[in-house]
Amino acid sequence: MAGPVDVPWAMLSRTRRQIRRHLVIYAGLAPFLVIALFPVLWMLITAFKDEADLYRMDVVPFWFNLPPTLKNFELLFFHSNYFVPSLLNSLMLTAFVVVVTLLTAVPAGYALARLRLPGAEPLGIAIFVTYLVPPIVLFLPLARVVGTLGLFDSWWALALVYPTFTIPFCTWLLMGFFKTLPRELEEAAWVDGCGLIGGILRVILPLSRPGLLIATIFPITFSMNEVLYAVVYVGPREEKTVTVAIASTLIRGDIFYWGALMGAGLLVGLPLAILYLFYLDHFIRGLTGADAIS
């Protein structure tokens, strides 16, 4: 039988093993953390660096050798006539794609998961497979559709094309998430007087918040980052999205406005990264809910 002296010693030994275990884990993760965070840190430093400081070869480039400056952001907002309009174009495009995706994917995913339609499972897999088709393969067929509708040189062309990529993925995702919810919850809502729509709005959608969150974040990320279709389908500068406008405005021949480029990258990419950070737990729950039926 262990004496009173042995108990603290066992607890101390267990604590030491846990500390060593955590040290080994964090030591293994540290290189990946450095690789992941270094580009963000470099963008942050470059965005506030003076132009002369960017090209100095006799000093350490990883910090400020001259006082930080806001000149790069002044160039971005006040001397570049296309950054703010293109950012507004991207925001309006993103809002439209998110609304269309949710209005389409939520009822489609629910129907495939709950209504026991013939061939619902193969149809759900087929919908997801369409998402796996490389965008460059669909480039020419979609160009013909856009041209027939007369939408070339307008961001409305992208508003037509982007949902063809976001809706299949979000439908498959929500289909899997709806299947993880017990059917008894809806039946209880029906007994309490809710119809089919009422059960969806008051029971299913609140419980599906993680899946809906991913179905919202994914179109936002896709719309803000896509370049191929945005470059070819939209020609006029006043109609371009922000990802294309950054490159076309701040890269002029062999002249690169690195500070403004990094500042624009921070303004566009950092909010999305913060959004993922705050809702990371919901994001993981949504993905695991979809994977449960795979």
- Domain boundaries along the sequence of the chain: 1-30, 73-291
Percent of the chain with pLDDT over 90: 7
pLDDT of residue 267 exceeding 90, the answer is no
With CA atoms as reference, report the closest residue to 176 among 105, 73, 95, 84: 105
Predicted confidence at residue 294, as pLDDT, reads 44
Mean pLDDT (the chain, rounded): 81
Measured CA to CA in angstroms, residue 264 lies from 73, 121, 219 at distances of 8, 43, 20
- pLDDT tens, position by position, 55-95: 877 777 788 888 888 888 888 888 777 788 888 999 999 99
- Give the mean pLDDT of 212-235: 87
Query: Which distant-in-sequence residues (6+ apart) come within 8 Å of 212 by Cβ?
Result: 102, 106, 174, 205
pLDDT of residue 289 exceeding 70, the answer is no
Q: What is the CATH number of domain 73-291?
A: 1.10.3720.10
The burial class, CB within 10 Å (0-12 / 13-18 / 19+), for 229 is buried
Q: Which of 97-101, 110-114, 116-120, 273-277 has the highest mean pLDDT?
A: 97-101
Predicted confidence at residue 96, as pLDDT, reads 95
- Give the mean pLDDT of 25-39: 88
- pLDDT tens, position by position, 150-205: 888 888 999 999 998 899 888 888 887 888 777 777 777 777 777 777 777 777 78
Predicted confidence at residue 287, as pLDDT, reads 57
Percent of the chain with pLDDT over 70: 90
pTM beyond 0.95: the answer is no
- Give the mean pLDDT of 200-226: 84
pLDDT of residue 7 exceeding 60, the answer is no
